């Protein structure tokens, strides 16, 4: 059961769009222990956290713990946890989990993950270069339940992040090429389990070319890696023609391409 009630004001619609359909339907919860971030690489240029905060007159560069910081341990009046048993918890989707400004709060978050051994957590980061030094000493206890995916949005980040992520001690290695803002050729996909690709949504979404998407698919196919084309983004180029695609059609159009690989 999708649990939107804890989503910060203004983020519900954005996150309903960002998350894959199957996750929304399968007992998923969103948990943002802190809010706000600092722009870090090319993929951050049109960050939706900044866009939404701006529309509410807020400054997204201010990073603060949220009221939901301890959500996994909160209980209802009857004694049951607010996050139901066995839920899939999208963690830190209005910031970056490995942001340096959150270093003092992260140990408590790891501890909550350890205590809620029934939950699975999913994190996406651009700061994979910091991640190893931020892991808890009990990482081996929780790593089967905590997925950490790495964003790679262009060739520059492929060259700098891929090897770091390949050697990062997670059970499943998922690369998120979203927003894909240029062609990417991986040196190798050895050790990678899945690549998810998407264009940039939002009013100022940068162009995404179908040829870049197909190139990534080909690389995955040749390496036996799962491939998922999640969404086209707002401005999508195919065979020399640029299409302006409404948000509601961006995921259906990607699905319609029929190019996913198991």
Q: Which residues bind ligand SF4 (CB under 6 A)?
A: 37, 39-40, 43-44, 47, 49, 95-96, 126
Query: Closest distance between ligand SF4 and the C-beta of residue 78, in Å?
Result: 35
Query: Closest distance between ligand SF4 and the C-beta of residue 124, in Å?
Result: 8
Query: Closest distance between ligand SF4 and the C-beta of residue 92, in Å?
Result: 9
Residue 60 or 225 having the CB closest to ligand SF4? 60
Residue 42 or 73 having the CB closest to ligand SF4? 42
Omega before 179 cis (within 30°)? yes
CA-nearest of 67, 159, 158, 164 to 148 is 164
Residue 128 or 192 having the CB closest to ligand SF4? 128
Residue 155 neighbours by CB under 8 Å, 6+ apart? 182, 183, 184, 185
Residue 47 or 220 having the CB closest to ligand SF4? 47
Residue 14 or 96 having the CB closest to ligand SF4? 96
Query: Closest distance between ligand SF4 and the C-beta of residue 23, in Å?
Result: 18
Query: Closest distance between ligand SF4 and the C-beta of residue 37, in Å?
Result: 3
Q: How far apart are CA 225 and CA 245, in angstroms?
A: 28
Q: How far apart are CA 218 and CA 229, in angstroms?
A: 12
């Amino acid at each position: 059961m999708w649990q939107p009630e804890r989503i910060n004001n203004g983020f519900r619609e954005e996150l309903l769009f960002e998350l894959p359909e199957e996750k929304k339907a399968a007992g998923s919860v969103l948990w943002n222990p802190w809010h706000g971030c600092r722009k870090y690489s090319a993929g951050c240029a049109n960050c939706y956290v900044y866009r939404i905060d701006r529309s509410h007159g807020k400054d997204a560069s201010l990073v603060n713990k949220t009221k939901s910081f301890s959500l996994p341990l909160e209980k209802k009046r009857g004694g049951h946890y607010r996050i139901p048993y066995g839920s899939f918890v999208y963690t830190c989707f209005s910031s970056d989990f490995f942001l340096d400004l959150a270093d003092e709060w992260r140990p408590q978050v790891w501890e909550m993950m350890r205590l809620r051994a029934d939950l699975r957590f999913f994190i996406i980061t651009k700061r994979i270069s910091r991640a190893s030094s931020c892991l808890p000493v009990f990482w081996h206890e929780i790593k089967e339940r905590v997925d950490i995916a790495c964003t790679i949005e262009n060739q520059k980040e492929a060259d700098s992040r891929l090897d770091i992520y390949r050697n990062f001690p997670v059970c499943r290695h998922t690369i998120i090429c979203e927003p894909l803002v240029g062609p990417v050729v991986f040196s190798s996909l050895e050790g990678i389990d899945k690549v998810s690709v998407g264009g940039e949504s939002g009013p100022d979404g940068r162009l995404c070319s179908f040829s870049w998407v197909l190139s990534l698919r080909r690389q995955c196919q040749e390496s036996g890696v799962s491939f998922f084309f999640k969404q086209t983004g707002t401005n999508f180029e195919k065979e020399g023609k640029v299409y302006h695609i409404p948000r509601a059609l961006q995921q259906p159009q990607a699905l319609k391409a029929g190019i996913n690989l198991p």
